[in-house]
Chains A and B, each alone.
Chain A
Amino acid sequence: MLTLTCPYCGVAADETELHPGGEAHLARSGPDSADADFESYLFLRKNPRGVHFERWRHSHGCGKWFHAARDTRTMQVWGTYPAQVTEPPQDLLAAIADRTA
C-alpha cells in the first residue's frame, strides 16, 4: 500500500488515510483569462510516465493539504513537502536529478 509521510503532523499515512488531489503547481487562471488558459488550468495535465508532483490531503489525519513527488512507473516516493509553495523544493529536485541521472 502507498505510504506518504505528512510533512505537517509527521505521520506515515497509508493511502486509505489520504485523499489524492491531482497534479501540483498548476497556475490558476483568473476571470480575465483566455479560453486556452482555462482549458490548460482545468483539463490539460502533464500525466508523466515518471516523476509526478502531486497534491494530497491528510483527510483522515490532521486534514492538511500537502505535496508529494512520486514516480508513476515504480510508485517510488521521492519525498513530501508543504503546500505553501509554487514549485518543488530545490533539494528534492536535486535528489531526483542525482538519482535518475
Chain B
Amino acid sequence: MKHYSAFAIAREALRGHTGWERAWRKATPKKRYDVVIVGAGGHGLATAYYLGRNHGIRNVAVLEKGWLGGGNTGRNTTIIRSNYLQDPSAAIYEKARSLYETMSQDLNYNVMYSPRGVMMLAQTEHEVRGYKRTAHANALQGVKTEFISPARVKELCPIIELRGPRYPVLGALWQDRAGTARHDAVAWGYARACSNMGMDIIQKCEVTGIRSENGQVTGVTTTKGDIACGKLGIVVAGHSGHLADMAGFRLPIESVALQALVSEPIKPCMDVVVMANTVHGYMSQSDKGEMVIGGGADGYNNYTQRGSFHHIEETVRALIETFPMISRLKMLRQWGGIVDMTGDRSPIISKTPLGNCFINCGWGTGGFKAIPGSGWATAELIARGEPGPLAAAFGLERFREGRFIDESVAAGVAH
C-alpha cells in the first residue's frame, strides 16, 4: 500500500494521477480463514482491523452481501458523542470517540473527524433534570460534558430560537469534544488498512447458511461458495435476526426503519451539532453545506430501507420551530436504514449459543459513533473467546438475568 501524504499528491499531480492504486484489493474467497466476519460495514471492518492490529490475527475475511459501507454506515447522520448515563455505555462510546480523534493518523486515511461539539437541548423541566444528572454521571466517568444555559446555547448556535411556542430551550447538555466524521471514509479507511494487512474484503458475497458440527461453527455457505472458518463474527446490524436464525438462535432484537434527510446546500450557518430529543429531531451542517437532519424511528418491524412519511413530517415540523430559518429550505434527499433495536436500547457484543460464533449488534439508532470502540471490543472478544472489560456488560445473557443497561430512559429518543 502506498502511503497517502502531501508528497504523494504532489508526485501524482506531476504525472497525471496515473499512480494511484486501489484502496483495497479485490479478493476472491479462499477455502478457509481463521476468522470470517459477516458484514463489511463500519463495525465489521473495525473488528477485522483491530483483530489484526491488536491481536495479530490476519488470516481474516470480511464478507459483504452488498457493497462496502452500503448499509447503516452510509445512511447515518455521522454524529459522534459519548455523553451516556450508564457506565458501560460511557466507557465504550468514550473509547470510540477517543479513537476517532486519531483515526486519520492511525489509518493514514482522512476521515475528516470534526470535534465541533454536540449539544442536546433540554426543552422540558424533566430533560433539564435528566441532563444535569447525565453531566454529573459523565464527570464521574471521566467524560467531559457540562450543562449549559440558554444564553450559552444561543452563543454557540445563533440560528436557534430559544422561545419556541411549544418547546422553549431551557438549557443543554454540551460535549465540546463530540462532533462528526465522514462516514464513508471511516469504512473505506478501515477497508484499506485491513487489505494492507492481507485480509480479504469480499463484496457481493451473501451468506446463505451457517455450518456447524457438535455445537461449534465450522464455516459459512455463501453465494460465492463454501468458506470454512475457525471463528465467525456476525456484524450485520438490522439483519442480525436473519443470520441468528441461520445459526439456530433468537435475538432480543427488532429491526425498524430509521430515516434521515438533507437539505439543499447553503452557506455555513451552524458549526455545532444540535439534538432535540423531546421533539425527535437533530441537525448539523455538512462540509458541503447541506443541513443533515435525523428524526425518530418507525414503530414497526421493517426491512425495506425506506420509512414512513409522517415521521419526516414530524421531524421537520419540530425543527422548523427550533430553527425558523430552515423553513424555506428545499429538502434534497431522504433515505432510510434498518436499525436493530434491543429492549434496553444498548448493544450486544457477545458469545452466542453456537460455539466460536460471536455477535455484535443492537446498536439501534446510534451505531456510527461507536464504530472504533465496538470493533476494538469485538476483536478482543473474538481473539480471546471471552469478553474484555469494554464488552463484558453487553452480553446476551443480560436479558435473561435482568442486568439491563437502560439507555432508553437515559438518552431520551435519539441515540
A20–B299 contact, CB under 8 A? yes
Residues of A within 8 A of B400 (CB): 35-36, 38-39
User: How far apart sit A75 and B299, CA to CA, in the bound complex (Å)?
Assistant: 14
User: How far apart sit A2 and B309, CA to CA, in the bound complex (Å)?
Assistant: 10
A48–B304 contact, CB under 8 A? no
A42–B343 contact, CB under 8 A? yes
A49 within 8 A of B: yes
Instruction: Count residues of B near A (Cβ-Cβ below 8 Å).
Output: 23
A44 within 8 A of B: yes
A28 within 8 A of B: no
On whether A48 and B308 interact (CB within 8 A), knowing A35-B401, A54-B300, A72-B302, the answer reads no
Q: From the candidates A15, A19, A52, name the one contacting B301 in the complex (CB within 8 A).
A: A52
Q: Binary interface profile of A, 40-54, with partner B (CB < 8 Å = 1, else 0)?
A: 101111111100101
Residues of A within 8 A of B250 (CB): 40, 44-46
On whether A72 and B304 interact (CB within 8 A), knowing A16-B310, A45-B253, the answer reads yes
B239–A49 contact, CB under 8 A? yes
Report the minimal beta-carbon distance from A71 to chain B, rounded to whole angstroms: 9
User: How far apart sit A18 and B399, CA to CA, in the bound complex (Å)?
Assistant: 29
A39–B310 contact, CB under 8 A? no
A74–B304 contact, CB under 8 A? yes
Q: Binary interface profile of B, 190-213, with partner A (CB < 8 Å = 1, else 0)?
A: 000000000000000000000000
Residues of A within 8 A of B252 (CB): 39, 43-45
User: How far apart sit A2 and B239, CA to CA, in the bound complex (Å)?
Assistant: 22
B-side binding surface: helix, strand, loop or mixed? mixed
Q: From the candidates A1, A19, A39, A47, name the one contacting B253 in the complex (CB within 8 A).
A: A47
Q: Binary interface profile of A, 68-90, with partner B (CB < 8 Å = 1, else 0)?
A: 00101111000000000000000
On whether A15 and B399 interact (CB within 8 A), knowing A46-B250, A48-B241, A49-B303, the answer reads no
Report the minimal beta-carbon distance from A52 to chain B, rounded to whole angstroms: 5
Residues of B within 8 A of A43 (CB): 252, 342-343, 399
B331 within 8 A of A: no
A1–B308 contact, CB under 8 A? yes
A61 within 8 A of B: no
Residue of A40, A47, A48 contacting most chain B CB atoms (<10 Å) = A47
A1–B299 contact, CB under 8 A? no
Q: Binary interface profile of B, 293-308, with partner A (CB < 8 Å = 1, else 0)?
A: 0000001111110001
B310–A1 contact, CB under 8 A? yes
Q: From the candidates B251, B300, B309, B310, name the one contacting A20 in the complex (CB within 8 A).
A: B300
Q: From the candidates B251, B300, B303, B401, name the one contacting A45 in the complex (CB within 8 A).
A: B251
B241–A47 contact, CB under 8 A? yes
Report the minimal beta-carbon distance from B336 to chain A, rounded to whole angstroms: 12
Residues of A within 8 A of B342 (CB): 43
B310–A15 contact, CB under 8 A? yes
User: How far apart sit A23 and B308, CA to CA, in the bound complex (Å)?
Assistant: 19
Q: List 23 A-B contacts (CB under 8 A).
A: A2-B300, A22-B300, A35-B400, A35-B401, A39-B252, A40-B250, A42-B343, A44-B252, A45-B241, A45-B251, A45-B253, A45-B254, A47-B253, A48-B241, A48-B301, A49-B239, A49-B255, A54-B300, A54-B301, A70-B300, A72-B255, A72-B301, A72-B303
Give me 16 other A-B pairs in contact (C-beta within 8 A), A43-B252, A47-B301 excluded.
A1-B308, A2-B308, A20-B300, A22-B254, A35-B401, A36-B400, A38-B400, A40-B250, A45-B250, A45-B251, A45-B252, A45-B254, A47-B255, A54-B301, A72-B301, A75-B302
